[in-house]
Structure 1
């Protein structure tokens, strides 16, 4: 009997979970493989989300559960928010679930209210991050109040990272006994078969394809191309290092606007390239010397552990989420938020002696494997969502 089948036999019959997120993209990207794992161990899933037709079709094609479209809107929209609440509540009233789990900002609020009003027996708020982390004043207080409401209506609150939980404590939120972080954090762990250390031949072949020599220093900046992910800081850093002709920069991620795309292209003469998206991030990281994460905020920095699994260190700002995914001195280094002078000095020293730089981080993959192996992370979430031990 396979491990997954054995687990399925041990589960309570008709274990049914409702997962509620704002956008299907979260299911298709942040829960890649995890939903299949839940299905294979015998969990019946109802997936509540909004999304483009492409994303919803992709989610349905995975055959991991019943997909229930909900007209969520990321931005405040009283009329549509009320419609979304009615849709979610109507469906929750039709079924009794083992657990109802809601995550991502808008879905957290609407999901918690609907689960409370439908008297669901186990209501779990899964906090992936705070879009308002860098906000101040009235809007920040409003968003924090919304989170407090979601917490109050929940039986349990799971945080994606320890630094994220600490950020709430610093905002005066009483976490009590209902709040926890599973393991070392992360929502989906790392696929260690996919994200791997390349051998010299594979690395050389990839570099040749991209017109990069073995003596060049490659820096990958992976993630959405938006201000909160630090695109402006990255562009400013490139300007500061424009005299280094051995540096190659690769932005990998969807741009928020044509203006940001144009800003990146304007620096092409400094050996800067951009890909809207890549399903082969592991190859880009594998051929790189450094991952750079200038994000202003994260729930948990997935790219940090993916790079480490590929044997590549990360340079990042010391902010919420990245403190958990980049281990200072072990898988990279953290600098004070916005300190481009420190970033510049770090990269200049690293590029000046690549062999010495690489030797400073000999056990990045081992650090990740001990903490974030994907099925270990998935099992933790299955345990938490079901309220049973399937270890």
Structure 2
């Protein structure tokens, strides 16, 4: 929730919108007004995984909520909530529905399971007034998969779904905290740091990071690897990967951090071996803090990284290529500085939250007006 909507709700409230949020439980301790405004929150019973019997209860709770009042726009996003919310909106004749599409959850699936999940997306899209993919390439894929027609798509600016707060993610932000963290981790002041931020899971390519780091250390012996992110047992990494993170030389796994800016400020280069993304938001956060990236040339990443401008893209799965590109940038301070400045300028110009929030407001108001 924090990453997906931070700052958006207060912006909409300042422009006259009343916000109500329906969520499937969870910890709301970090839900502060400065970031999320003052919305009405409805906690519903929603299971994250497909569960036909329990999902009937979730659908009923959605329908009960939508029967209580008429909404100008119903915004759905995560897969399960989007399915139940769009069906409930149709049953109660509420809406219109805007479907913000974040990722093809079936990307690495095959056979019947993949067809099932494509079918779910088709249902949601059919019940929605607009489908808003968070990247241009993702929109092309939805059309190619037969999820919806191109005329139903709407894109927010250059991509992303919430943009980046370029004042919060800025060069020098958390510099003091980063210096303290570097000392706590025992990283020498002049040692280069490879940084990864994201879930510690297979589809993020995390199993390749030990090889990438080891190859970099062969040429730059002082290089450290810092990882920020939680494990997820639904897509676990290999035991030997966890062993490297726990016992490897010059490796520091910090776990989940609600505010990763101190870790970003510690990094010299962002390494991101993900096999696919809806849109690589962490790559924009790194760029905003003037950290160039090395990542795979895959869907949802190639739009977030401008190749040879804000970072370097290498073929998917090529750990050796990722290491070589990392070495090239770390060994060329002028190149690293040029990429750092260009990346920050690009984020400010195209992905600043102020720009993205205004585009979202215009879309919502146009849909609400058309539905009146």
TM over 0.5: yes
CA 1:271–1:32 in structure 2 vs 1: closer, same or farther (change >3 Å)?
same
The residue number in structure 1 matching 2:71 is: 97
Structure holding more strand per residue: 1
Q: How many residues align?
A: 362
Check conservation: 1:116, 1:123, Cα contact below 8 A: no
CA 1:195–1:170 in structure 2 vs 1: closer, same or farther (change >3 Å)?
same
- Equivalent of 2:122, from 143, 148, 154? 148
**Which digits, 9 at most, give the CA deviation of each residue in 1:84-106, with x for residues without a partner?**
11110111111111101111111
Separation in 2, partners of 1:94, 1:269: 56
- Equivalent of 1:336, from 285, 293, 315? 315
Residue segments in structure 2 that go unaligned for 5+ positions in a row: none
**Which digits, 9 at most, give the CA deviation of each residue in 1:10-36, with x for residues without a partner?**
xxxxxxxxxxxxxxxx3x331112122
| 1:222 matched to 2:201 | no
| 1:34 matched to 2:8 | yes
Separation in 2, partners of 1:388, 1:92: 18
Separation in 1, partners of 2:129, 2:312: 37
CA 1:291–1:263 in structure 2 vs 1: closer, same or farther (change >3 Å)?
same
Separation in 2, partners of 1:119, 1:101: 15
| 1:87 matched to 2:57 | no
| 1:373 matched to 2:364 | no
Check conservation: 1:160, 1:300, Cα contact below 8 A: yes
CA 1:320–1:199 in structure 2 vs 1: closer, same or farther (change >3 Å)?
closer
| 1:246 matched to 2:216 | no
| 1:138 matched to 2:112 | yes
Instruction: Specify the SS of the correspondent of 2:61.
Output: helix
Check conservation: 1:198, 1:287, Cα contact below 8 A: no
Separation in 2, partners of 1:340, 1:260: 16
Separation in 2, partners of 1:284, 1:302: 16
Alignment of 1:260-275 (within 5 A): 263-267=241-245, 268-275=247-254
Higher mean C-alpha displacement, 316-325 vs 169-178: 169-178
Check conservation: 2:125, 2:148, Cα contact below 8 A: no
Instruction: Specify the SS of the correspondent of 2:58.
Output: helix
**Which digits, 9 at most, give the CA deviation of each residue in 1:191-238, with x for residues without a partner?**
111111129985766644543334322111001111122211223323
The residue number in structure 1 matching 2:210 is: 235
- Equivalent of 1:72, from 26, 40, 46? 46
Separation in 2, partners of 1:327, 1:356: 14
Q: TM-score, normalised by structure 1?
A: 0.85
**Which digits, 9 at most, give the CA deviation of each residue in 1:221-279, with x for residues without a partner?**
00111112221122332344453421111110111249768844534432110112224
Instruction: Specify the SS of the correspondent of 1:328.
Output: coil
How far did 1:161 drift?
0.9
Check conservation: 1:158, 1:180, Cα contact below 8 A: yes
- Equivalent of 2:24, from 30, 46, 50? 50
Separation in 1, partners of 2:325, 2:150: 40
Separation in 2, partners of 1:253, 1:261: 17
CA 1:212–1:146 in structure 2 vs 1: closer, same or farther (change >3 Å)?
same
- Equivalent of 1:311, from 290, 294, 297? 290
Check conservation: 1:297, 1:320, Cα contact below 8 A: yes
